[in-house]
Amino acid sequence: MKKIVVLTGAGISAESGLKTFRDSGGLWEGYNVIDVATPEAWRRDPILVQTFYNERRKNVLDAIPNLAHFALARLEEKYEVTIITQNIDDLHERAGSSNIIHLHGLITKSQSDKNPVLTYDILGWELKMGEVCELGSQLRPHVVWFGEPVPMIEYAQKLCSQADIFIVIGTSLKVYPAAGLIDFVPPNVPKYLVDLNCPEIPLKDLDMIIKSSSIGVPELVERLLI
């Protein structure tokens, strides 16, 4: 089976009602990254950080996958598909995709503040101060914050180097190392991009579908399933 690697960002979940980061009205308009998405923020004001992620977790639980998520799941009828997502929502899982790599973590899980390898499912929307891991340390969102290592990046880079087809959906490609994954895709491999806007960075030999995800992704999937 041919291998398809898909890199997704916040734009694929926008039509499920989840805010992106850098569009107008995006998350980083309401909050300063420094205050809620860094290890220093967690040490400085853990309650603000928990509140930020509890609100986002509530939104994720209320959201449902959209036509783009479901279309990607259908690709598995004909291809070996791996989704490398920057998103911390679980909409790809709920749409039925089976191989998903959460480069930046998964908001429905918590992790030990002492040992990040210890992760736990969060039942419901709220992770509270005082909830501790088996080592007795405070549980924090299982999210990769700015300045923290991205544990799955080497594996993701390897997958991109072995892709037969590469698809980028709904990401501004502004945050590294995720944005650098496209450089690991061999030059002769067909590359597609689906985004509401033209990318601000120059991208070459890429078939661009400048449409919303819920329209552009099903169209692309239809073409690939013929």
From the CB of 28, what's the least distance to ligand APR, in Å? 7
Q: Does 22 bind ligand APR (CB under 6 A)?
A: yes
Stretch of 42-50, 51-59, 122-130, 165-173 contacting ligand APR, by CB under 6 A: 165-173
142 as an active site residue: the answer is no
Residue recorded with tokens 């449409």: 211
Which residues, numbered 168-197, are part of the site for ligand APR (CB under 6 A)? 170-172, 174-175, 195-197
Mark 199-218 with x for binding to ligand APR (rule: CB under 6 A) and - for no binding: -------------xx-----
Q: In the complex with ligand APR, which residue's Cβ is closer, 133 or 145?
A: 145
Distance between CA atoms of residues 102 and 84, nearest Å: 6
As measured in angstroms, the least distance from the Cβ of 135 to ligand APR is 27
The answer to whether the annotation marks 14 as part of a ligand binding site is: yes
Query: Residues 74-113 vs ligand APR: string with x where CB under 6 A?
Result: ------------x-----------------x---------
110 assigned ligand-binding residue: no
Within 10 Å of residue 92's Cβ, how many Cβ atoms?
26
* Binding residue (CB under 6 A) for ligand APR from 11, 65, 141, 218: 11
Residue 219 to residues 17, 132, 202, Cα–Cα distance (Å): 21, 46, 24
Answer whether the bond into residue 177 is a cis peptide, omega within 30°.
Answer: yes
DSSP for 88-146? -S-HHHHHT---EEETTEEEEEEEESS-TT-EEEPPSS---TT-B-TTSPBEEEEE--T
Q: Is 10 annotated as a binding residue?
A: yes
- Contacting residues for 67 by C-beta, under 8 A, at least 6 apart: 15, 213, 214, 215, 217, 218
Residues designated catalytic: 104
Which residues of the shown chain bind ligand APR in the complex (CB under 6 A)?
9-11, 14-15, 20-23, 26, 86, 104, 170-172, 174-175, 195-197, 212-213
